Structure 1
Amino acid sequence: MSSFEADPVTTEFLDGTPVALGGPRGFPVTRTLPNRQRRMVGAWCFLDAYGPHELGDSAGMRVGPHPHTGLQTVTWLVAGEVLHRDTLGSVQEIRPGQLNLMTAGRGIAHSEETPRENSGVLHGVQLWVALPHADRDMPAAFAHHADLPMATFGDVTATVLMGTLGEATSPARIHTPLVGAELTLPAGASAEIPRKTTFEYGILALDGAPEVDGATLKPGPLLYLGQGRSTVHLATSSPAKVLLLGGEPFEERLVMWWNFVARDHDEIVQMRADWESQTPRFGEVRGYDGPRLPPPPMPLTRLVPRGRVR
């Protein structure tokens, strides 16, 4: 991999932005990546967190067919269920402890919805991983991993979504050095979690208010931890759950717009046109009871490729 200098920032809270998923009246989420200060953590370039939502009489999540390019989507649930459909013909319900990994490559489309038979609650995260230049036009793919490896660090239990943590390695296919793991802390837990000194890291509280390297972390902001240290210390007086993200800093400059990851403005224009005119590039999602999402208008100025730090 390319060489780089260690990031001088070691601890930084990145506040999230409220967003309506699927349109102005859509499902509410909190978006912490991309952020005003930092666009990425490793190749992790997008992070939406939602819930816990008590669904009651609402339909829950309903995000109509929409396209992606140049990225992998990662769906992880703390509670509830989500039904995924895509243009490869995949139809897969995901539950807590399972991983849905969709690789867009040159182009794919999918829908996400709360299934009719559900537990009445929804709590989870949706993430994107940027594909490197060599893989960004690869064929689309989908994988469901129902059985993920686990590792223990003192009182803390880690479920490894992607990459390697400790002695546990996820079966999910990755294209740059990175890691993603859910860490579960019982009341009174205290542990040192191993880090790679060449990785930068971020931690999101999913539940509870643990201390991370002495900083109290509550659900909402993403805590950026930088590079250079070999461990991160977690402790809590009450039960907590966090999401650990890390990876080698992603050095390629990207254009991220709507649901696309590209390298320049003209690529985005073509991607938008292909979706709007329903070319074969993205295919058709079958079985979703609702309309496909229309693309927003292009901005009046040219989109500029940007690095991981704004």
Structure 2
Amino acid sequence: MELVCSGDECPDGVQVLTAREVPLGGPRAMTVRRTLPNRERSFVGAWCFVDHYGPDDVAQTGGMDVPPHPHTGLQTVSWLFTGEIEHRDSGGVHDMVRPGEVNLMTGARGICHSEVSTPATSILHGVQLWVVLPQADRDLPRDFQHFAAPEVEVAPGARVRVFMGSLAGQSSPVRTQTPLLGAEVRLASGTTWTVPVDPAHEHAVLVDYGDVTFCDEPVPQHALGIVGTGRGELTLRADTDARLLLLGGEPFDEQIVMWWNFIGRDHDDIATMRADWEAESERFGQVTGYEGKTARLPAPALPGSTLRPRGRLGR
């Protein structure tokens, strides 16, 4: 279900992006539903990657086991609805991802990490998000932030956990390099909720479950509904009990190359990052304590053609 927009924006409508299924961590890995990046759009604010997975019965799927792999030019944001994931990174961090607790990892010049669902997990269900870093911040040091976001009733039938930015009087202390919003929203059946937002931001809704209408347009389960700047408030309606993520941010107008787990500015950037990872360069460091299926993920081969930069609207 898609709305094809004319011009550069959808000021009066909702652009709906359906998800495609991809393996996480290579072939025979768990399957995730990816809505960003998309051929039609690269970013919402600086949000550049949205993976949604589960609920998966770990006994049937094997759960999550992603060996050490690299990142550059971005921040990873891990958010769970159900289950538990063990995080290890080359910054020396060993922590858990649990429902309602956000983990933000900064991998600017280079970092690597592993993600493994724990033995205590029977059902795994959550999202993995990336935030692109501006060119000026591409060499930030490795960093890790953790925040347990309280669930608050902000209106009758509407409960939120704000894990980034501010919404409905709730705020997160998590630091970001560009203004961003990230919140889990639960709506009771029959609820219509209108919330003030920054009109300088674009916003998106990822529907986990339920019949949801976003700014008068239905957004199917697992899809991403997007509106442009210029709205001072957003209206969400749930015809059944529903849960969704609300994302937003200032439009990100730089062009980037996103390839595998790297974000650069041109083909040569990516080629250098890949070569450094394959050479086990100190640029990415080492993950200690991971005891999974393989020591590290090898980088795929570069394509035969030149990688071209893309802007926020996919061109």
State the TM-score, normalizing by the size of structure 1: 0.94
What is the deviation of 1:108?
0.4
Which residue number corresponds to residue 201 of structure 1? Answer: 203
Asked whether the 8 Å contact 2:21–2:34 carries over to 1, the reply is yes
Query: For the residues of structure 2 that align with 1:279 and 1:111, how far apart are their CA atoms?
Result: 17
Asked whether the 8 Å contact 2:210–2:239 carries over to 1, the reply is no
SS, match of residue 66 in structure 1? strand
Asked whether the 8 Å contact 1:53–1:121 carries over to 2, the reply is yes
Which residue number corresponds to residue 300 of structure 1? Answer: 304
Query: For the residues of structure 2 that align with 1:147 and 1:206, how far apart are their CA atoms?
Result: 18
What is the deviation of 1:148?
4.6
Letter in 2 for 1:14: L
What is the deviation of 1:200?
0.8
Query: For the residues of structure 2 that align with 1:99 and 1:265, how far apart are their CA atoms?
Result: 32
Which residue number corresponds to residue 114 of structure 1? Answer: 117
Structure 2 unmatched runs, 5+: 1-6
Range 141-150 or range 161-170, more displaced = 141-150
| Match runs of 1:119-138 below 5 Å | 120-138=122-140
Q: 1:11 aligns with which of 14, 36, 40?
A: 14
| Match runs of 1:99-248 below 5 Å | 99-118=102-121, 120-148=122-150, 150=152, 152-248=154-250
Which residue number corresponds to residue 47 of structure 1? Answer: 50
Question: Given the superposition, is the C-alpha separation of residues 225 and 183 from structure 1 closer, same or farther in structure 2, using an over 3 Å criterion?
Answer: same
Query: For the residues of structure 2 that align with 1:18 and 1:58, how far apart are their CA atoms?
Result: 15
User: Does 1:257 pair with 2:282?
Assistant: no
Letter in 2 for 1:72: Q
Question: Given the superposition, is the C-alpha separation of residues 164 and 254 from structure 1 closer, same or farther in structure 2, using an over 3 Å criterion?
Answer: same
What is the deviation of 1:238?
2.0
What is the deviation of 1:286?
1.0
Query: For the residues of structure 2 that align with 1:225 and 1:166, how far apart are their CA atoms?
Result: 19
Query: For the residues of structure 1 that align with 2:110 and 2:126, how far apart are their CA atoms?
Result: 25
Asked whether the 8 Å contact 1:6–1:198 carries over to 2, the reply is no
Query: For the residues of structure 2 that align with 1:156 and 1:168, how far apart are their CA atoms?
Result: 13
Query: For the residues of structure 2 that align with 1:86 and 1:27, how far apart are their CA atoms?
Result: 21
What is the deviation of 1:177?
1.3
Asked whether the 8 Å contact 2:185–2:244 carries over to 1, the reply is yes
Which residue number corresponds to residue 4 of structure 2? Answer: none
Asked whether the 8 Å contact 2:209–2:222 carries over to 1, the reply is no
Deviations 1:159-198 (A, max 9, x none): 1111111322211111111111111111222210222111
SS, match of residue 165 in structure 2? strand
Structure 1 unmatched runs, 5+: none
User: Does 1:309 pair with 2:306?
Assistant: no
What is the deviation of 1:6?
8.5
Question: Given the superposition, is the C-alpha separation of residues 126 and 29 from structure 1 closer, same or farther in structure 2, using an over 3 Å criterion?
Answer: same
Query: For the residues of structure 1 that align with 2:232 and 2:112, how far apart are their CA atoms?
Result: 39
Query: For the residues of structure 2 that align with 1:276 and 1:47, how far apart are their CA atoms?
Result: 26
SS, match of residue 272 in structure 2? helix
Query: For the residues of structure 2 that align with 1:112 and 1:83, how far apart are their CA atoms?
Result: 6
Q: 2:80 aligns with which of 74, 77, 86?
A: 77
Which residue number corresponds to residue 28 of structure 1? Answer: 31
Range 208-217 or range 167-176, more displaced = 208-217
Indicate the percent of aligned positions where both proteins have the same amino acid.
48
Deviations 1:148-167 (A, max 9, x none): 57461343112111111132
SS, match of residue 59 in structure 2? coil
Which residue number corresponds to residue 93 of structure 1? Answer: 96
Query: For the residues of structure 1 that align with 2:43 and 2:181, how far apart are their CA atoms?
Result: 13
Question: Given the superposition, is the C-alpha separation of residues 107 and 149 from structure 1 closer, same or farther in structure 2, using an over 3 Å criterion?
Answer: farther
Aligned length: 305
Query: For the residues of structure 2 that align with 1:49 and 1:275, how far apart are their CA atoms?
Result: 27
